[in-house]
Amino acid sequence: MNEGLREAVLALQRQCEEHGKIERELRKVCEDLRCLVDERTSQLEEEIQSRKAAEERLRSAKKDAEKKAQDSRSPATLRPTAALFAHEVANSLNGIFACLQLLDMKAQDQGFGDPELKSLVGSATEEIKRLGSLLKDFRSFVQPQNYDFEPTDLRKIIDEVIAEDRLLYDSVGLRLKFEFPDTLLPITLDREKIKQAILSICKNAIEAMPSGGVLTFRGYESEDRIFLEISDTGAGIPKGLEVFEPFCTTKRLSSGLGLPIVSQIISAHNGTIDYVSDLGKGTTFKIGLPAG
Same-domain status, 121 and 195 = no
Question: Residue 80: its pLDDT value, please?
Answer: 55
Same-domain status, 121 and 204 = no
Last residue of a domain, which of 103, 119, 142?
142
Same-domain status, 121 and 249 = no
Query: CB of 247 within 8 A of CB of 226?
Result: no
Same-domain status, 156 and 133 = no
Within a domain: 235:
yes
Within a domain: 118:
yes
Same-domain status, 91 and 182 = no
Same-domain status, 156 and 179 = yes
pLDDT tens series, the chain, 292 aa: 566 667 766 777 777 777 777 777 777 767 777 777 777 777 778 878 877 877 787 777 667 666 655 554 455 555 556 666 666 676 777 777 777 777 777 777 666 666 777 777 777 777 777 777 666 766 666 666 788 889 988 899 999 988 888 888 888 889 999 999 988 888 889 999 999 899 989 988 988 898 889 999 999 998 889 999 999 999 898 888 888 777 666 665 566 677 888 898 999 899 999 999 998 899 999 999 988 6
Same-domain status, 138 and 167 = no
Within a domain: 41:
no
Within a domain: 219:
yes
Last residue of a domain, which of 110, 142, 174?
142
Within a domain: 25:
no
Domain count for the chain: 2
- In order of 40, 42, 52, 54, the CA distances from 49 in angstroms are 14, 11, 5, 9
Same-domain status, 112 and 218 = no
Within a domain: 33:
no
Same-domain status, 271 and 157 = yes
Burial class of 187 by CB neighbour count within 10 A (0 to 12, 13 to 18, 19+): buried
Q: What is the DSSP string of 233-258?
A: -SS-PPTT--TTSTT--S-TT--S-H
Q: Residues for the chain: how many in total?
A: 292
Residue 211's Cβ-side half-sphere holds a number of Cα atoms within 13 Å equal to 3
Domain containing 164 equals 150-290
Last residue of a domain, which of 123, 142, 161?
142
Bridge partners (DSSP) of residue 221 are 226
Question: Residue 72: its pLDDT value, please?
Answer: 46
Same-domain status, 190 and 245 = yes
Same-domain status, 124 and 154 = no
Q: How far apart are CA 83 and CA 143, in angstroms?
A: 8
Within a domain: 70:
no
Torsions phi, psi for 125 (to 5 deg) = -65, -40
- For residue 153, give the DSSP letter: -
Within a domain: 199:
yes
**CATH number of the domain enclosing 220:** 3.30.565.10
Global confidence as pTM: 0.57
Same-domain status, 127 and 258 = no
User: What distance, in Å, lies between the first and last C-alpha atoms of the chain?
Assistant: 120
